[in-house]
Amino acid sequence: MQISNFEKYVFPPEQMAYIKQLKSLTRRIYGDNPKACVVTYGCQQNVSDSEHYKGMLSLMGFEFINEPSQADFILYNTCAVRGHAEDRVYGNIGVVKNYKRKRENIILAVCGCMAQQSHVAERIRKSYPYVDIVFGTQLQHRLPEFLYKRLSGGGRIFELSLENKEIVEDIPISRDGELKGWLPIMYGCNNFCTYCIVPYVRGRERSRHPVKILAEAREMVKAGFKDITLLGQNVNSYGKGCDFNMDFADLIREINNIEGDFRIRFMTSHPKDCTLKLLDAMRDCEKVAHHLHLPFQSGSDRILKQMNRHYDRKTYLELIEAARERIPDISITSDIIVGFPGETYDDFKETLSLVEKVRFSSLFTFIYSPREGTPASVMDDPISREEKGKWFNELLALQDKIAKENSKSFIGKTFRVLCDDYGKAPGIMSGHTSGNCSVEFEADKNMLGEFLDIEITDYTNMLSGKIVK
Protein backbone atom coordinates (compact mmCIF):
# COMPACT_ATOMS: atom_id res chain seq x y z
CA MET A 1 0.00 0.00 0.00
CA GLN A 2 1.22 3.47 -0.85
CA ILE A 3 0.95 6.31 1.61
CA SER A 4 2.28 9.28 -0.38
CA ASN A 5 0.84 12.72 0.28
CA PHE A 6 -0.12 11.75 3.78
CA GLU A 7 -0.72 15.44 4.51
CA LYS A 8 -4.13 15.20 2.91
CA TYR A 9 -5.43 12.52 5.29
CA VAL A 10 -6.58 14.96 7.91
CA PHE A 11 -9.76 14.98 9.95
CA PRO A 12 -12.39 15.86 7.30
CA PRO A 13 -13.57 19.50 7.57
CA GLU A 14 -17.18 18.40 7.05
CA GLN A 15 -16.99 16.33 10.24
CA MET A 16 -15.71 19.39 12.08
CA ALA A 17 -18.73 21.29 10.71
CA TYR A 18 -21.07 18.59 12.11
CA ILE A 19 -19.33 18.91 15.48
CA LYS A 20 -20.02 22.66 15.49
CA GLN A 21 -23.68 22.15 14.65
CA LEU A 22 -24.00 19.42 17.28
CA LYS A 23 -22.78 21.83 19.92
CA SER A 24 -26.03 23.77 19.69
CA LEU A 25 -28.27 20.88 18.66
CA THR A 26 -27.36 18.74 21.70
CA ARG A 27 -28.05 21.72 23.99
CA ARG A 28 -31.45 22.26 22.45
CA ILE A 29 -32.36 18.63 23.01
CA TYR A 30 -30.58 17.76 26.26
CA GLY A 31 -30.13 21.09 28.04
CA ASP A 32 -26.92 22.77 29.14
CA ASN A 33 -24.86 19.76 30.17
CA PRO A 34 -25.34 16.90 27.72
CA LYS A 35 -23.87 13.68 29.07
CA ALA A 36 -22.19 10.85 27.20
CA CYS A 37 -21.18 7.39 28.37
CA VAL A 38 -18.58 5.55 26.31
CA VAL A 39 -18.21 1.88 27.23
CA THR A 40 -15.16 0.09 25.81
CA TYR A 41 -14.59 -3.65 25.44
CA GLY A 42 -11.60 -5.50 24.02
CA CYS A 43 -8.00 -4.59 23.45
CA GLN A 44 -5.92 -1.42 23.70
CA GLN A 45 -6.72 -0.63 20.09
CA ASN A 46 -10.33 -0.18 21.13
CA VAL A 47 -9.32 1.82 24.20
CA SER A 48 -7.34 4.09 21.89
CA ASP A 49 -10.28 4.40 19.46
CA SER A 50 -12.53 5.36 22.37
CA GLU A 51 -10.14 8.16 23.27
CA HIS A 52 -10.85 9.56 19.83
CA TYR A 53 -14.61 9.14 20.25
CA LYS A 54 -14.33 11.05 23.51
CA GLY A 55 -12.24 13.70 21.79
CA MET A 56 -14.97 14.34 19.23
CA LEU A 57 -17.79 14.15 21.81
CA SER A 58 -16.03 16.54 24.10
CA LEU A 59 -15.76 19.12 21.28
CA MET A 60 -19.53 18.70 20.84
CA GLY A 61 -19.89 19.77 24.47
CA PHE A 62 -20.56 16.39 26.09
CA GLU A 63 -19.46 15.64 29.64
CA PHE A 64 -18.54 12.04 30.40
CA ILE A 65 -20.15 9.79 32.96
CA ASN A 66 -19.68 6.10 33.71
CA GLU A 67 -23.32 5.26 34.29
CA PRO A 68 -25.20 4.56 31.03
CA SER A 69 -28.60 4.97 32.72
CA GLN A 70 -27.92 8.71 33.21
CA ALA A 71 -26.45 9.42 29.78
CA ASP A 72 -27.99 11.23 26.80
CA PHE A 73 -25.63 9.51 24.36
CA ILE A 74 -24.44 5.94 24.95
CA LEU A 75 -21.69 4.43 22.83
CA TYR A 76 -20.72 0.78 23.10
CA ASN A 77 -17.33 0.21 21.48
CA THR A 78 -17.33 -3.55 21.13
CA CYS A 79 -14.97 -6.50 20.73
CA ALA A 80 -15.51 -9.73 18.80
CA VAL A 81 -12.45 -11.73 19.72
CA ARG A 82 -14.29 -14.24 21.91
CA GLY A 83 -17.96 -15.16 22.32
CA HIS A 84 -18.06 -14.03 25.93
CA ALA A 85 -17.24 -10.43 24.96
CA GLU A 86 -20.18 -10.41 22.55
CA ASP A 87 -22.69 -11.89 24.99
CA ARG A 88 -22.00 -9.10 27.47
CA VAL A 89 -22.69 -6.46 24.84
CA TYR A 90 -26.07 -7.96 23.88
CA GLY A 91 -26.96 -8.01 27.58
CA ASN A 92 -25.97 -4.38 28.06
CA ILE A 93 -27.67 -2.97 25.00
CA GLY A 94 -30.79 -4.89 26.03
CA VAL A 95 -30.96 -2.88 29.26
CA VAL A 96 -30.92 0.46 27.41
CA LYS A 97 -34.47 -0.28 26.22
CA ASN A 98 -35.68 0.49 29.76
CA TYR A 99 -33.77 3.78 29.90
CA LYS A 100 -35.29 4.79 26.59
CA ARG A 101 -38.80 4.15 27.91
CA LYS A 102 -38.24 6.87 30.47
CA ARG A 103 -36.25 9.27 28.26
CA GLU A 104 -36.91 8.73 24.61
CA ASN A 105 -34.25 11.21 23.44
CA ILE A 106 -31.37 8.96 24.43
CA ILE A 107 -29.21 7.97 21.45
CA LEU A 108 -27.65 4.50 21.55
CA ALA A 109 -24.77 3.69 19.21
CA VAL A 110 -22.83 0.45 18.80
CA CYS A 111 -19.46 0.45 17.03
CA GLY A 112 -16.21 -1.53 17.02
CA CYS A 113 -15.23 -5.03 15.98
CA MET A 114 -18.41 -6.86 16.96
CA ALA A 115 -20.61 -4.35 15.15
CA GLN A 116 -18.46 -4.74 12.04
CA GLN A 117 -19.72 -8.30 11.47
CA SER A 118 -22.72 -8.31 9.14
CA HIS A 119 -24.54 -11.05 11.06
CA VAL A 120 -24.30 -8.94 14.22
CA ALA A 121 -25.50 -5.78 12.48
CA GLU A 122 -28.44 -7.79 11.10
CA ARG A 123 -29.34 -9.11 14.55
CA ILE A 124 -29.24 -5.60 15.97
CA ARG A 125 -31.36 -4.29 13.10
CA LYS A 126 -34.03 -6.91 13.69
CA SER A 127 -34.00 -7.60 17.42
CA TYR A 128 -32.81 -4.34 18.95
CA PRO A 129 -34.90 -1.63 17.24
CA TYR A 130 -33.93 0.96 19.86
CA VAL A 131 -30.27 0.92 18.73
CA ASP A 132 -29.96 4.17 16.73
CA ILE A 133 -26.53 3.94 15.12
CA VAL A 134 -24.30 1.01 14.16
CA PHE A 135 -20.99 1.76 12.49
CA GLY A 136 -17.78 -0.08 11.62
CA THR A 137 -14.15 0.08 12.65
CA GLN A 138 -12.96 2.22 9.75
CA LEU A 139 -15.62 4.92 10.06
CA GLN A 140 -14.54 6.27 13.39
CA HIS A 141 -14.13 9.81 12.08
CA ARG A 142 -17.75 9.89 10.90
CA LEU A 143 -19.31 9.70 14.35
CA PRO A 144 -20.23 13.45 14.24
CA GLU A 145 -22.08 12.98 10.94
CA PHE A 146 -23.98 9.91 12.18
CA LEU A 147 -24.99 11.58 15.42
CA TYR A 148 -26.06 14.79 13.69
CA LYS A 149 -28.19 12.97 11.14
CA ARG A 150 -29.93 10.82 13.72
CA LEU A 151 -30.51 13.69 16.16
CA SER A 152 -31.97 15.88 13.46
CA GLY A 153 -34.68 13.35 12.69
CA GLY A 154 -33.04 10.92 10.26
CA GLY A 155 -33.67 7.14 10.35
CA ARG A 156 -31.53 4.47 12.01
CA ILE A 157 -27.97 4.35 10.68
CA PHE A 158 -26.08 1.19 9.66
CA GLU A 159 -22.69 1.98 8.09
CA LEU A 160 -20.17 -0.82 7.93
CA SER A 161 -18.00 -0.26 4.89
CA LEU A 162 -14.51 -1.68 5.31
CA GLU A 163 -12.82 -0.29 2.26
CA ASN A 164 -9.39 0.04 3.74
CA LYS A 165 -8.87 3.51 2.41
CA GLU A 166 -6.04 5.68 3.70
CA ILE A 167 -5.85 6.30 7.42
CA VAL A 168 -7.71 9.38 8.62
CA GLU A 169 -5.33 11.39 10.79
CA ASP A 170 -5.81 14.12 13.37
CA ILE A 171 -9.12 12.90 14.76
CA PRO A 172 -9.67 14.88 17.99
CA ILE A 173 -8.57 12.98 21.09
CA SER A 174 -9.24 13.07 24.79
CA ARG A 175 -6.81 10.71 26.50
CA ASP A 176 -7.83 8.69 29.54
CA GLY A 177 -4.52 9.03 31.37
CA GLU A 178 -1.89 11.68 31.90
CA LEU A 179 1.18 9.46 32.39
CA LYS A 180 0.53 6.35 30.34
CA GLY A 181 -0.82 6.61 26.84
CA TRP A 182 -1.55 4.63 23.69
CA LEU A 183 -0.02 5.45 20.34
CA PRO A 184 -1.36 3.38 17.40
CA ILE A 185 1.23 2.88 14.68
CA MET A 186 -0.81 0.61 12.45
CA TYR A 187 -4.29 -0.81 12.04
CA GLY A 188 -5.69 -4.10 10.81
CA CYS A 189 -4.04 -7.47 10.30
CA ASN A 190 -2.99 -9.62 7.34
CA ASN A 191 -2.16 -12.79 9.20
CA PHE A 192 -5.42 -14.71 9.28
CA CYS A 193 -4.61 -17.03 12.15
CA THR A 194 -7.34 -19.61 11.66
CA TYR A 195 -9.08 -18.96 15.00
CA CYS A 196 -9.06 -15.16 14.79
CA ILE A 197 -11.76 -12.69 13.77
CA VAL A 198 -9.56 -9.58 13.85
CA PRO A 199 -8.52 -9.52 10.14
CA TYR A 200 -12.20 -9.74 9.14
CA VAL A 201 -13.36 -6.92 11.40
CA ARG A 202 -10.37 -4.59 11.21
CA GLY A 203 -9.41 -5.04 7.57
CA ARG A 204 -5.96 -5.20 6.00
CA GLU A 205 -2.80 -3.87 7.61
CA ARG A 206 -2.27 -0.14 7.24
CA SER A 207 0.70 1.70 8.72
CA ARG A 208 0.58 5.30 9.84
CA HIS A 209 3.16 7.61 8.34
CA PRO A 210 6.23 7.94 10.60
CA VAL A 211 5.96 11.72 10.46
CA LYS A 212 2.53 11.49 12.08
CA ILE A 213 3.64 8.95 14.68
CA LEU A 214 6.72 10.95 15.65
CA ALA A 215 4.70 14.15 15.91
CA GLU A 216 2.19 12.46 18.20
CA ALA A 217 4.94 10.92 20.33
CA ARG A 218 6.59 14.33 20.72
CA GLU A 219 3.27 15.88 21.69
CA MET A 220 2.69 13.17 24.30
CA VAL A 221 6.15 13.62 25.81
CA LYS A 222 5.62 17.38 25.90
CA ALA A 223 2.29 16.86 27.65
CA GLY A 224 4.05 14.86 30.38
CA PHE A 225 3.43 11.26 29.31
CA LYS A 226 6.06 8.93 30.79
CA ASP A 227 4.99 5.60 29.35
CA ILE A 228 3.96 5.34 25.71
CA THR A 229 2.74 2.06 24.24
CA LEU A 230 2.95 1.69 20.47
CA LEU A 231 -0.03 -0.30 19.25
CA GLY A 232 -0.64 -2.64 16.36
CA GLN A 233 -1.92 -6.21 15.90
CA ASN A 234 1.50 -7.09 14.54
CA VAL A 235 3.88 -4.18 15.10
CA ASN A 236 6.75 -6.10 13.50
CA SER A 237 5.24 -5.71 10.07
CA TYR A 238 5.09 -1.93 10.43
CA GLY A 239 5.86 -0.15 7.15
CA LYS A 240 5.57 -3.20 4.89
CA GLY A 241 4.50 -2.17 1.41
CA CYS A 242 4.64 1.54 2.23
CA ASP A 243 6.46 4.21 0.26
CA PHE A 244 8.51 5.32 3.26
CA ASN A 245 11.57 3.31 4.05
CA MET A 246 11.18 2.49 7.70
CA ASP A 247 10.52 -0.72 9.57
CA PHE A 248 9.53 -1.15 13.20
CA ALA A 249 13.10 -1.34 14.51
CA ASP A 250 13.91 1.94 12.71
CA LEU A 251 10.75 3.51 14.10
CA ILE A 252 11.55 2.74 17.72
CA ARG A 253 15.07 4.10 17.26
CA GLU A 254 13.51 7.36 16.00
CA ILE A 255 11.10 7.55 18.93
CA ASN A 256 13.95 6.78 21.30
CA ASN A 257 15.72 9.89 19.97
CA ILE A 258 12.94 12.16 21.20
CA GLU A 259 14.27 14.16 24.11
CA GLY A 260 12.79 13.50 27.54
CA ASP A 261 12.55 10.91 30.29
CA PHE A 262 9.91 8.42 29.20
CA ARG A 263 9.41 4.75 28.43
CA ILE A 264 8.50 3.15 25.14
CA ARG A 265 6.47 -0.06 25.09
CA PHE A 266 4.84 -1.86 22.20
CA MET A 267 2.38 -4.61 21.46
CA THR A 268 1.81 -7.01 19.85
CA SER A 269 4.82 -8.74 18.30
CA HIS A 270 4.16 -11.76 16.13
CA PRO A 271 6.95 -14.35 16.55
CA LYS A 272 7.11 -14.95 12.79
CA ASP A 273 8.09 -11.30 12.18
CA CYS A 274 10.12 -10.61 15.31
CA THR A 275 13.62 -9.95 13.97
CA LEU A 276 17.07 -9.85 15.53
CA LYS A 277 17.20 -6.31 14.17
CA LEU A 278 14.30 -5.44 16.48
CA LEU A 279 15.93 -7.16 19.47
CA ASP A 280 19.15 -5.22 18.75
CA ALA A 281 17.16 -1.98 18.68
CA MET A 282 15.53 -2.87 21.99
CA ARG A 283 18.96 -3.47 23.50
CA ASP A 284 20.38 -0.21 22.13
CA CYS A 285 17.47 2.11 22.94
CA GLU A 286 17.60 3.12 26.59
CA LYS A 287 13.96 4.28 26.61
CA VAL A 288 12.53 1.00 25.36
CA ALA A 289 11.12 -1.02 28.25
CA HIS A 290 12.67 -4.40 28.99
CA HIS A 291 9.47 -6.16 28.15
CA LEU A 292 8.48 -8.28 25.18
CA HIS A 293 4.92 -9.49 24.69
CA LEU A 294 5.35 -12.39 22.30
CA PRO A 295 2.23 -14.57 22.00
CA PHE A 296 3.01 -18.18 21.14
CA GLN A 297 -0.59 -19.52 21.39
CA SER A 298 0.42 -23.19 21.52
CA GLY A 299 3.54 -25.21 22.31
CA SER A 300 2.63 -27.93 19.80
CA ASP A 301 3.99 -27.66 16.26
CA ARG A 302 1.03 -29.60 14.93
CA ILE A 303 -1.42 -27.09 16.43
CA LEU A 304 0.69 -24.08 15.39
CA LYS A 305 0.39 -25.30 11.80
CA GLN A 306 -3.37 -25.67 12.14
CA MET A 307 -3.47 -22.16 13.56
CA ASN A 308 -1.55 -20.80 10.54
CA ARG A 309 1.03 -19.15 12.76
CA HIS A 310 4.11 -19.68 10.54
CA TYR A 311 6.67 -20.50 13.25
CA ASP A 312 7.43 -23.55 15.33
CA ARG A 313 8.31 -24.24 18.91
CA LYS A 314 12.02 -24.37 18.15
CA THR A 315 12.17 -20.97 16.44
CA TYR A 316 10.06 -19.47 19.22
CA LEU A 317 12.49 -20.73 21.85
CA GLU A 318 15.44 -19.45 19.81
CA LEU A 319 13.85 -16.01 19.72
CA ILE A 320 13.44 -16.01 23.50
CA GLU A 321 17.08 -16.99 23.86
CA ALA A 322 18.17 -14.23 21.48
CA ALA A 323 16.11 -11.70 23.45
CA ARG A 324 17.60 -12.81 26.78
CA GLU A 325 21.12 -12.77 25.37
CA ARG A 326 20.71 -9.12 24.46
CA ILE A 327 18.59 -8.01 27.43
CA PRO A 328 19.24 -10.38 30.34
CA ASP A 329 16.53 -8.91 32.61
CA ILE A 330 13.86 -8.81 29.90
CA SER A 331 10.39 -9.73 31.05
CA ILE A 332 8.52 -11.91 28.59
CA THR A 333 4.76 -12.28 28.45
CA SER A 334 2.52 -14.22 26.10
CA ASP A 335 -0.97 -15.21 24.99
CA ILE A 336 -2.09 -18.84 24.93
CA ILE A 337 -5.17 -20.54 23.53
CA VAL A 338 -6.26 -23.74 25.24
CA GLY A 339 -8.47 -26.23 23.41
CA PHE A 340 -8.00 -25.24 19.76
CA PRO A 341 -10.07 -27.65 17.57
CA GLY A 342 -8.37 -31.03 17.41
CA GLU A 343 -5.91 -30.25 20.22
CA THR A 344 -5.17 -33.34 22.31
CA TYR A 345 -3.91 -33.55 25.85
CA ASP A 346 -0.50 -34.44 24.41
CA ASP A 347 -0.49 -31.21 22.39
CA PHE A 348 -1.53 -29.32 25.49
CA LYS A 349 1.36 -30.88 27.45
CA GLU A 350 3.68 -29.25 24.89
CA THR A 351 2.17 -25.91 25.85
CA LEU A 352 2.78 -26.66 29.54
CA SER A 353 6.36 -27.64 28.87
CA LEU A 354 7.00 -24.46 26.88
CA VAL A 355 5.60 -22.39 29.75
CA GLU A 356 7.90 -24.21 32.12
CA LYS A 357 10.91 -23.64 29.86
CA VAL A 358 10.42 -19.95 29.20
CA ARG A 359 9.16 -18.93 32.66
CA PHE A 360 6.99 -16.03 31.51
CA SER A 361 6.43 -13.03 33.76
CA SER A 362 2.73 -13.26 33.07
CA LEU A 363 0.33 -14.90 30.66
CA PHE A 364 -2.98 -14.09 29.05
CA THR A 365 -4.73 -17.42 28.70
CA PHE A 366 -7.94 -18.09 26.80
CA ILE A 367 -10.14 -21.09 26.14
CA TYR A 368 -10.71 -21.35 22.39
CA SER A 369 -13.92 -19.65 21.30
CA PRO A 370 -15.28 -20.39 17.80
CA ARG A 371 -15.76 -17.25 15.69
CA GLU A 372 -18.23 -17.31 12.81
CA GLY A 373 -16.52 -17.04 9.43
CA THR A 374 -13.06 -18.20 10.58
CA PRO A 375 -11.53 -21.45 9.24
CA ALA A 376 -11.17 -22.96 12.73
CA SER A 377 -14.87 -22.58 13.45
CA VAL A 378 -15.65 -25.41 11.03
CA MET A 379 -12.85 -27.72 12.20
CA ASP A 380 -13.66 -30.83 14.21
CA ASP A 381 -13.64 -29.98 17.90
CA PRO A 382 -14.29 -33.19 19.87
CA ILE A 383 -12.97 -32.12 23.30
CA SER A 384 -15.69 -30.94 25.70
CA ARG A 385 -15.70 -27.48 27.24
CA GLU A 386 -15.43 -29.14 30.65
CA GLU A 387 -12.28 -31.01 29.67
CA LYS A 388 -10.77 -27.84 28.21
CA GLY A 389 -11.60 -26.11 31.50
CA LYS A 390 -9.53 -28.70 33.37
CA TRP A 391 -6.54 -28.15 31.07
CA PHE A 392 -6.96 -24.42 31.45
CA ASN A 393 -6.83 -24.69 35.26
CA GLU A 394 -3.73 -26.83 35.04
CA LEU A 395 -2.05 -24.10 32.99
CA LEU A 396 -3.16 -21.39 35.44
CA ALA A 397 -1.77 -23.35 38.40
CA LEU A 398 1.58 -23.81 36.66
CA GLN A 399 1.84 -20.13 35.72
CA ASP A 400 0.80 -19.07 39.21
CA LYS A 401 3.65 -21.10 40.69
CA ILE A 402 6.17 -19.65 38.20
CA ALA A 403 4.97 -16.07 38.72
CA LYS A 404 5.33 -16.44 42.49
CA GLU A 405 8.84 -17.84 42.14
CA ASN A 406 9.77 -15.04 39.73
CA SER A 407 8.41 -12.42 42.10
CA LYS A 408 10.21 -13.86 45.13
CA SER A 409 13.49 -13.82 43.21
CA PHE A 410 13.10 -10.01 42.93
CA ILE A 411 13.41 -9.52 46.70
CA GLY A 412 16.58 -7.56 47.48
CA LYS A 413 16.93 -6.24 43.93
CA THR A 414 16.46 -2.63 42.90
CA PHE A 415 14.29 -1.58 39.95
CA ARG A 416 13.57 1.70 38.23
CA VAL A 417 9.87 2.21 38.77
CA LEU A 418 7.50 4.75 37.27
CA CYS A 419 5.29 5.94 40.12
CA ASP A 420 2.00 5.87 38.20
CA ASP A 421 -0.85 5.52 40.69
CA TYR A 422 -2.10 6.02 44.24
CA GLY A 423 -1.81 2.97 46.48
CA LYS A 424 -4.48 1.35 48.60
CA ALA A 425 -3.85 3.64 51.61
CA PRO A 426 -2.65 7.21 52.14
CA GLY A 427 1.15 7.38 51.99
CA ILE A 428 1.31 4.35 49.70
CA MET A 429 1.92 4.71 45.97
CA SER A 430 2.24 2.16 43.21
CA GLY A 431 4.10 1.87 39.96
CA HIS A 432 5.58 -0.35 37.28
CA THR A 433 9.05 -1.62 36.54
CA SER A 434 10.51 -1.61 33.06
CA GLY A 435 9.38 -5.25 32.81
CA ASN A 436 5.84 -4.06 33.68
CA CYS A 437 5.67 -5.67 37.14
CA SER A 438 3.51 -3.72 39.53
CA VAL A 439 5.05 -2.61 42.87
CA GLU A 440 3.76 -0.80 45.97
CA PHE A 441 5.91 1.43 48.15
CA GLU A 442 5.74 4.24 50.68
CA ALA A 443 5.91 7.59 48.95
CA ASP A 444 4.36 11.00 48.95
CA LYS A 445 1.53 11.54 46.48
CA ASN A 446 3.44 14.34 44.76
CA MET A 447 5.86 11.70 43.48
CA LEU A 448 3.25 10.64 40.95
CA GLY A 449 4.88 10.66 37.53
CA GLU A 450 8.44 10.27 38.78
CA PHE A 451 10.88 7.48 38.04
CA LEU A 452 12.14 6.11 41.37
CA ASP A 453 14.70 3.48 42.34
CA ILE A 454 12.78 0.95 44.40
CA GLU A 455 14.33 -1.95 46.28
CA ILE A 456 11.96 -4.90 46.51
CA THR A 457 11.49 -5.90 50.15
CA ASP A 458 8.59 -8.34 50.10
CA TYR A 459 6.14 -10.31 48.02
CA THR A 460 2.80 -11.53 49.30
CA ASN A 461 0.12 -10.99 46.67
CA MET A 462 2.04 -8.17 45.15
CA LEU A 463 5.60 -6.83 45.16
CA SER A 464 6.33 -4.21 47.77
CA GLY A 465 9.47 -2.15 48.16
CA LYS A 466 11.09 1.00 49.43
CA ILE A 467 12.66 4.00 47.78
CA VAL A 468 16.45 3.86 47.77
CA LYS A 469 18.44 7.05 47.66
Residues that bind ligand F3S (CB under 6 A): 42-43, 45-46, 79-81, 113, 197-198, 201-202
Q: Minimal CA–CA distance to 452: which of 463, 437, 441, 436?
A: 441
Q: Report the nearest approach of ligand SF4 to the CB of residue 80 (Å).
A: 11
Q: Which of ligand F3S, ligand SAH, ligand SF4, none does 368 bind, CB closer than 5 to 8 A by kind? A: ligand SAH
Whose Cβ is closer to ligand SAH: residue 381's or residue 455's?
Answer: 381
Give the residue with the Cβ less far from ligand SAH, 6 or 238: 238
Residue 369's binding partner, choosing from ligand SAH, ligand SF4, ligand F3S, none, with beta-carbon cut-off 5 to 8 A by kind?
ligand SAH
Whether 320 and 361 have beta carbons less than 8 Å apart is answered as no
Q: Considering only CA atoms, which of 403, 395, 449 is closest in space to residue 422?
A: 449
User: Is residue 270 within the footprint of ligand SF4 (CB under 6 A)?
Assistant: yes
Q: Which does 242 bind (CB under 5 to 8 A by kind): ligand SAH, ligand F3S, ligand SF4, none?
A: none
Tell me the CA distances in angstroms from 114 to 81, 87, 97, 154, 351, one per residue in order: 8, 10, 20, 24, 29
Between residue 219 and residue 238, which ones bind ligand SF4 under the rule CB under 6 A?
A: 233-234
Fill in the per-residue mask, 170 to 209: x = in contact with ligand SF4 (CB under 6 A), - = not in contact: -------------------x-xxx--x-xx----------
Which of ligand SAH, ligand F3S, ligand SF4, none does 50 bind, CB closer than 5 to 8 A by kind? none
Indicate the residue among 81 and 429 with the shorter CB distance to ligand F3S: 81
345's contact among ligand SAH, ligand F3S, ligand SF4, none, with CB below 5 to 8 A by partner kind, is none
Helix crossing, 276-284 with 248-256: angle to 10°?
10
Nearer to ligand SAH, 30 or 195 (CB): 195
Is residue 279 close enough to count as binding ligand SF4 by CB under 6 A? no
Q: Please, which residue, 116 or 433, has the CB nearer to ligand F3S?
A: 116
Which of ligand SAH, ligand SF4, ligand F3S, none interacts with 80 (beta carbon under 5 to 8 A by kind)?
ligand F3S
CB of 304: closest distance to ligand SAH in angstroms?
Answer: 12
Verify binding: residue 108, ligand SF4, rule CB under 6 A: no
Count residues near ligand SF4 (CB under 6 A).
10
* CB closer to ligand SAH, 30 vs 296: 296
Q: Which residues of 190-216 are buried (b: 16+ CB within 10 A; e: fewer)?
A: ebebbbbbbbbbbbebbbbbbebbeeb
Rank residues 234 and 464 by Cβ distance to ligand SF4 and give the closer one: 234
Rounded Cα distance, 381 and 96, in Å: 36
User: Of ligand SF4, ligand SAH, ligand F3S, none, which one sits near residue 45, judging by CB under 5 to 8 A according to partner kind?
Assistant: ligand F3S
Which stretches of the chain bind ligand SAH, using CB under 6 A? 81-82, 195-196, 198, 233-234, 268, 270, 295, 297, 335, 337, 366, 368-369, 371
